[in-house]
Chain A
């Protein structure tokens, strides 16, 4: 129906390869793998992929999450305000 136009590449369509510059090991005594953080820390270094309901604003939804999880501060990435 329409001629195929060249689509510009969206950020999530870019493929990246890892190039190694030097080799080294990491000391298991320090830090944790992201999935292996202790529970409390896991929450504080966590993000939630939330399905925003219709009605309340993004700020309100974030405030609800804050109250539910009983946290000091909660933010949101990119207001869904249209």
Chain B
């Protein structure tokens, strides 16, 4: 989609006053988008009330929305409009000025804050809408660390093209492994890597170490001892179970991140 389209869509259809952390994946790293989609998000939001309410009442109602909520995506949404549940980890009321309410919300990916504001307004009785929104966190990326603007990207990239100094790239690009900070990780032997790159499932003998808190069915990142991401997998057992396994499949490979042949092939093929 190009900028030149703006005339045909008109201002009302655009994204007014929605800013903040947007993880941009470059070429090969697009494969980790999955890890972002299911990660938690944090927003700071300005909600405009349509009537006068006391601070206490607003705070009370916001609190009611903590934990699990039901939500139907708004009319203009990029997903199917069916009722679904989303978890709200916390809502912190920050301040209130007249009819403008400022709050911070930590929620599961896919929660519509515009809808949340509308629903808060319904419960209050006076109605409300979302005025302004800023995403302060997407998974492991926050607005406090390594955030850059489009201008920074254009500037540093031009600088790098002239000087060819990798230090400049590091100012605005992070290795994709940064995105996996919050995903439970499992480290494997060099000899297991290429098989996984070819789509094989992860088996117990290849595992060197793993993090706590893995449950059967949860997403898990497979890494080499050098810390490179090999694949995203779906765990078939919990941390404790995996530790005691001698053989058998530990995780199903869902998305391979590393190209084949990066590590040597270490398995016997049929003909040999």
Chain A residues with CB under 8 Å of chain B are: 1-2, 5, 7-14, 16-27, 30-35, 37, 39, 42-65, 68-69, 71-82
Contact = CB atoms under 8 A, between A and B. Distances in A.
Contacts of B239: 19
Contacts of B135: 52, 80
A47 B109 contact: no
Interface string B5-26: 0000000001111111111111
Contact of B225 (A24, A45, A71): A24
Nearest to B77: A81
A51 B224 contact: no
Given A49-B145, A76-B22, A76-B23, A39 B87 contact: no
Interface of B: 1-3, 14-30, 32-33, 35-37, 39-42, 56, 59-60, 63, 66-67, 77-78, 87, 89-90, 106, 109, 112-114, 130, 133, 135, 137-141, 143, 145-150, 153-154, 157, 160, 164, 166, 169-170, 172-179, 182, 184-185, 189-190, 193, 207-213, 224-229, 239, 242-243, 258, 262-264
Nearest to B138: A78
B226 A26 contact: yes
Given A45-B29, A50-B22, A54-B18, 4 more contacts: A24-B225, A34-B176, A74-B26, A77-B25
A60 B40 CA distance: 23
A27 B193 CA distance: 12
Contact of B148 (A7, A50, A60): A50
A27 B262 CA distance: 12
B174 A48 contact: yes
A21 B207 contact: yes
Contact of B228 (A17, A33, A76): A33
Given A19-B212, A42-B173, A82-B133, A64 B3 contact: yes
Given A2-B63, A68-B157, A11 B182 contact: yes
20 contacts: A2-B59, A13-B89, A18-B209, A21-B242, A23-B208, A30-B263, A33-B228, A42-B169, A47-B29, A47-B176, A48-B23, A48-B153, A50-B24, A54-B18, A57-B14, A65-B153, A74-B27, A77-B25, A78-B39, A78-B138
Contacts of B20: 51-52, 80
Contacts of B212: 16-19
Nearest to A72: B27
Nearest to A48: B24
